[in-house]
């Protein structure tokens, strides 16, 4: 099925549209942009020419993808990209910028939901099935894992990492790394406990959950995780912790109970 394009929309000759793409009034799709099948672009939304996206993505009105990085030293002639997977939702006013380095890409996975006025800066990586609530903003070179929930108005400093299955309390300012599987919040931000609800929804229960619970206590007391039974989640956690960090880790709340 061919694309359904409103007569007021502007589609550049060099744009590539998949089957059954729908483009709303006054939307702009620039030369070089690639949209997969079944994508929807709302009124006044803009897809710049350096965007490559998969199937089933939905852009609500006034979303802008692939704009110039907010980096004063960036040369607009640099060829870089914003790469997006499948079945993401970008609500009104969402923005994501392309990368700063030649040949580089800002990357968004699949199945994510970005609420009103949230922002993904240049050179970031966002995993699959992650949710940004309203007004979340992540700085350049931030890494966000899979199945992360970022509460309203969360702000993340550049070069920070947020591990998979973490949940960040609304209005929290993040300037260090957030450990996978955990809930973080407060001012200053501190790890409180495991993301119990998120883990249950992901099917991380029983012995797998108990191993993570033990890992939380060991990390809080600055002890090794090597004594624990190996699980897929623990292996990911250990590999994540072993990677170099530019910011270090946020600390833990000083409470006697984990959950």
Give the model confidence (pLDDT) of 32-70 as tens digits.
999 999 999 999 999 999 999 999 999 999 999 999 999
Residues 144, 125: Cα–Cα separation, whole Å: 6
The torsion of the CA quartet 32, 35, 145, 138, rounded to 10 degrees, works out to 60
**Which pair of structure tokens corresponds to residue 10?**
């502007």
Within 109-231, where are the H helices?
A: 196-201, 206-220
- Cβ proximity of 160 and 174 under 8 Å: yes
Question: What's residue 3's pLDDT?
Answer: 76
What is the tens place of the pLDDT at every residue in 206-235? 999 999 999 999 999 999 999 999 999 999
Question: What's residue 255's pLDDT?
Answer: 56
What is the tens place of the pLDDT at every residue in 241-253? 999 999 999 999 9
Report the catalytic residues.
Answer: 122-123, 140
Residues 14, 90: Cα–Cα separation, whole Å: 23
Residues 172, 154: Cα–Cα separation, whole Å: 5
Within 48-129, where are the H helices?
A: none
* Residue 89, pLDDT above cutoff 70: yes
* Residue 258, pLDDT above cutoff 50: no
Residue among 11, 84, 5, 3 at smallest CA distance from 37 = 3
Provide CB contacts within 8 A for 179, sequence distance 6+: 163, 166, 191, 219, 237, 240, 241, 249, 250
Average pLDDT over residues 176-201: 97
Residues 145, 126: Cα–Cα separation, whole Å: 6
Average pLDDT over residues 139-167: 98
């Amino acid at each position: 099925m061919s694309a359904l394009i409103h007569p007021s929309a502007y589609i550049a000759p060099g744009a590539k549209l998949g089957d059954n793409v729908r483009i709303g009034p006054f939307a702009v799709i620039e030369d070089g942009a690639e949209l997969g099948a079944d994508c929807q672009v709302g009124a006044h939304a803009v897809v710049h020419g350096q965007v490559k996206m998969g199937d089933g993505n939905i852009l609500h009105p006034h979303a802008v993808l692939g704009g110039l990085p907010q980096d004063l030293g960036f040369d607009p002639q640099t060829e870089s990209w914003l790469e997006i997977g499948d079945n993401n939702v970008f609500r009104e006013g969402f923005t994501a910028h392309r990368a700063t380095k030649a040949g580089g890409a800002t990357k968004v996975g699949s199945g994510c939901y970005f609420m009103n006025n949230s922002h993904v800066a240049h050179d970031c990586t966002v995993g699959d099935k992650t949710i940004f609530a309203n007004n979340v903003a992540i700085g350049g070179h931030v890494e966000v894992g899979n199945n992360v929930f970022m509460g309203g108005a969360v702000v993340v400093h550049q070069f920070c990492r947020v591990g998979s299955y973490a949940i960040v309390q609304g209005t929290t300012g993040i300037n260090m790394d957030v450990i996978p599987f955990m809930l973080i919040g407060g001012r200053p931000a501190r790890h409180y406990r495991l993301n119990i609800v998120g883990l249950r929804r992901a099917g991380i229960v029983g012995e797998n959950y108990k191993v993570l619970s033990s890992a939380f206590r060991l990390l809080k007391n600055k002890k090794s995780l090597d004594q624990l039974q190996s699980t897929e989640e623990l292996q990911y956690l250990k590999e994540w912790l072993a990677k170099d960090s530019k910011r270090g880790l946020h600390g833990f709340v000083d409470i006697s109970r984990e959950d």
